[in-house]
């Protein structure tokens, strides 16, 4: 169990639209953030991305429930966080909460993450909740089942 991962998760979960200046405490200036929908390079770009994210949702929360270090030394390490993200967007799912399970792969050095890759189902996050596309995806899932 990794103290770094637990501390990172606690601090990341505490972020909101008013505390994005704290991203520099979590990430290096040249950090790379990748998820199924985005690839963002550098702390300044990450701050813009998270500002847009928080501006477009009514609620956003991360519940972390897995902390797995692959390797961890005095100054650097690699590990995984498992999480569930909950969010509400006025134009998705009728404004009801949407929950998506995911996993983050982190590489860190000197107390800051320099590579962060998220793995999650982009359909469950977004596409399934779009008015027309959501019905098509639901139909496809039924046909494939």
- Please determine, looking at this structure, whether the domain spanning 3-144 carries the CATH number 3.40.50.620: no
Banded pLDDT at 130 (limits 50, 70, 90): low
The Cα 45–Cα 30 span in angstroms is: 10
Q: Give me the sign of the Cα torsion angle 85, 88, 92, 94.
A: positive
Backbone angles phi, psi at 22, to 5 degrees: -80, -5
Pairing of β 76-88 and β 38-41? unpaired
The Cα 91–Cα 131 span in angstroms is: 9
- 8 A C-beta contact, residue 62 and residue 56: no
Query: Over the stretch 17-37, which tens digit does the pLDDT of each residue have?
Result: 899 999 999 999 999 999 998
Residue with tokens 């985005």: 38
Query: Over the stretch 35-94, which tens digit does the pLDDT of each residue have?
Result: 998 999 999 999 999 999 888 888 889 999 999 999 988 789 999 999 999 988 887 777
Q: Where are the domains of the chain?
A: 3-144
Q: Which residue has the higher pLDDT, 49 or 139?
A: 49
Beta-carbon count within 10 A of 116 CB: 22
Q: What is the pLDDT of residue 135?
A: 64
pTM: 0.83
Average pLDDT score, the chain = 87
């Amino acid at each position: 169990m990794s103290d770094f991962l637990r501390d990172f998760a606690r601090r990341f979960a505490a972020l909101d639209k008013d505390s994005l200046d704290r991203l520099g405490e979590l990430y290096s200036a040249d950090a790379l953030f990748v998820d199924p929908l985005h690839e963002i390079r550098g702390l300044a770009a990450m701050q813009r991305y998270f500002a847009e994210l928080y501006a477009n949702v009514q609620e956003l929360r991360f519940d972390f429930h897995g902390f797995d270090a692959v390797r961890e030394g005095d100054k650097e390490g690699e590990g995984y966080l498992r999480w569930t993200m909950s969010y509400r967007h006025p134009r998705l799912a009728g404004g009801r909460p949407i929950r998506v399970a995911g996993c983050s792969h982190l590489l860190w050095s000197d107390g800051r993450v320099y590579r962060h890759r998220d793995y999650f189902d982009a359909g469950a996050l977004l596409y399934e909740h779009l008015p027309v596309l959501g019905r098509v995806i639901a139909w496809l899932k039924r046909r494939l089942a």
